[in-house]
Homo-oligomer: A and B are copies of this chain.
Amino acid sequence: MNRENWNTRAERRSARLARAGEALPGQLDGKRVATAAAAALLSAVLEPGDRVCLEGNNQKQADFLARTLMQLDPQRVHGLHMVQSVLALPEHLDLFEAGIAKRLDFSFSGPQGTRLAQLVSSGRIEIGAIHTYLELFARYFVDLTPQVALVAAQAADADGNLYTGPNTEDTPAIVEATAFSGGIVIAQVNEMMEPGTLPRIDIPGGWVDFVVLAPKPNVIEPLFTRDPAQISEIQVLMAMMAIKGIYAEYGVQRLNHGIGFDTAAIELLLPTYGESLGLKGKICRHWALNPHPALIPAIEAGWVESIHSFGSELGMEDYIRARPDVFFTGRDGSLRSNRAFCQAAGHYACDLFIGSTLQIDLDGNSSTATQGRIAGFGGAPNMGADARGRRHASPAWLKAGREARDGRAGAAGTPRGQKLVVQMVETFREHMQPAFVETLDAWTLQKQAGMDLPPIMIYGEDVTHILTEEGIANLLLCRTDEEREQAIRGVAGYTAVGLARDRAMVEKLRERGVIRRPQDLGIDPRDATRNLLAARSMRELVRASGGLYQPPGRFRHW
């Protein structure tokens, strides 16, 4: 036997707990720690170099614990290795500037992307890797297991039982990995309740070591709310093409929508344009999706059978409570979200993912990475990849697979289904930046940040359709790199990439149905008006919900 001691994790845990007990005389009530003692608790529990998961979700943030970490003495606590899915708050990066944290493994940094890139280039942060969410959770159980988890919940009792309410999100994955590997779990909560009175238990108390009442409720972002007033008629046109040219064509029943106005337009067209095509019950029945307010009219019109969610959405609480046939809810009536299971659902149980991007190259590779920012891609790589382990069939998946393999020999010709992965972009973005480029910024960023690979969000090999206002390019039907390139150029409009098309080849691709224009789909662009939207404003969304949807203040314009 080479090892003398197989209990180092348990002993380290005991030592952490003992230090916490000493540091908090009289301030422990069961597992409850006084708010004022939070910094003393973290200082006692943490050790230099610890692997720490500070719950930064896509929406819910353990913001009080983040601020508390910032109060620690870097002489005592330093060099932490942060393993957290989202860097959303300034404090998440302050920790690195202060030297308290050193290394980072994450999924998405959103608004902190520019500052993150600066800290990397100045050597204040070592980035381990950027992950898609489920990939990061998977590593929690393999080689990135947290020694300390700092999570957020709605309420707790003195036994440590947690009620997460609608935003369960990453919490179960984080806590399970930490609690069953000798780690320490600390939760900030908005409310402390008496044992037996929690509306439901989302995390058993035995998995949690300390609970602290936060001085104010945790930060939470309404990331998935899009005001219908801002949807353009070009977006309506593109949404019509998506519904008629892709959803109806393949019979897509189970799907995930990315974030943004493009997909919000699709959601708002289902009960109008979709209804006029007779598609109700034939498409879009099951969703892996946050509770998008833009989906309310389709739900009310009876289009939607089920929605499982990664997280919740602010303002949707009462609406969800009133529609328990559609959403996954607890006995308390509020949503039970779960990012790990919803990502698994998006990967393995959906036939289509559709989302937007900033840049697409001539191979069909797409990325939202831009120079000077390190942002990550959240769930897109997981959902925007062909799930090659999938074995159950559906008409949509089989048709996509047939199109991809028809006429091919050898291993590439073996029959197999394929996931539909659609990139939906206008040819020019804001400030007239072209969405189609010869070379992705990702290549420059790779060099700048010393990455092993360029940060590509969705690979050309996995994209099946590119949809712009000019038409749909079906990459499944392309048989050579040249065909793919011309199919992409053929929908790239007046961008330099689009203008450089081989017109004869593009016309041939159109004859073969590889490229389809609105008129090829029987869509008259003049019909693409905002009148087709089932709700044209936040107010109409509220009305569609029967007054149950309560948008956050910033979305209330009436």
List residues of chain B with CB within 8 A of the CB of A7.
324-325
- Size category, A interface: 35 or more
Asked if residues B338 and A253 are in contact (CB atoms below 8 Å), the reply is no
From B173, B347, B409, B453, A341 is in contact (CB under 8 Å) with: B173
Asked if residues B143 and A306 are in contact (CB atoms below 8 Å), the reply is yes
Q: A131-B392, A382-B389, A411-B459 are in contact. Are A345 and B6 (CB under 8 A)?
A: no
List residues of chain B with CB within 8 A of the CB of A330.
179-180, 206
Q: A324-B10, A328-B141 are in contact. Are A128 and B388 (CB under 8 A)?
A: no
Each complex incorporates copies of this chain amounting to: 2
Nearest residue (CB) in B for A401 is B453
Asked if residues B134 and A364 are in contact (CB atoms below 8 Å), the reply is no
Q: A135-B389, A138-B345, A348-B139 are in contact. Are A201 and B204 (CB under 8 A)?
A: yes
Quick check: is A90 within 8 A (CB to CB) of the other chain? no
Q: Chain A's interface: helix, strand, loop or mixed, by majority?
A: loop
Asked if residues B308 and A132 are in contact (CB atoms below 8 Å), the reply is no
Nearest residue (CB) in B for A280 is B2
A161 to B485, CA, bound (A): 58
Q: A6-B323, A7-B325, A180-B328 are in contact. Are A392 and B139 (CB under 8 A)?
A: yes
Q: A143-B306, A306-B143, A411-B363 are in contact. Are A389 and B134 (CB under 8 A)?
A: yes
List residues of chain B with CB within 8 A of the CB of A134.
344, 348, 389
Which 6 A-B pairs give the minimum distances between C-beta atoms? A410-B481, A129-B392, A411-B460, A2-B302, A138-B348, A385-B388
Q: A139-B348, A391-B455, A393-B452 given. 18 additional CB < 8 A pairs?
A: A2-B302, A5-B325, A8-B325, A9-B325, A132-B390, A135-B389, A135-B391, A142-B254, A142-B345, A176-B336, A177-B341, A180-B328, A202-B204, A347-B389, A381-B391, A385-B388, A386-B388, A412-B481
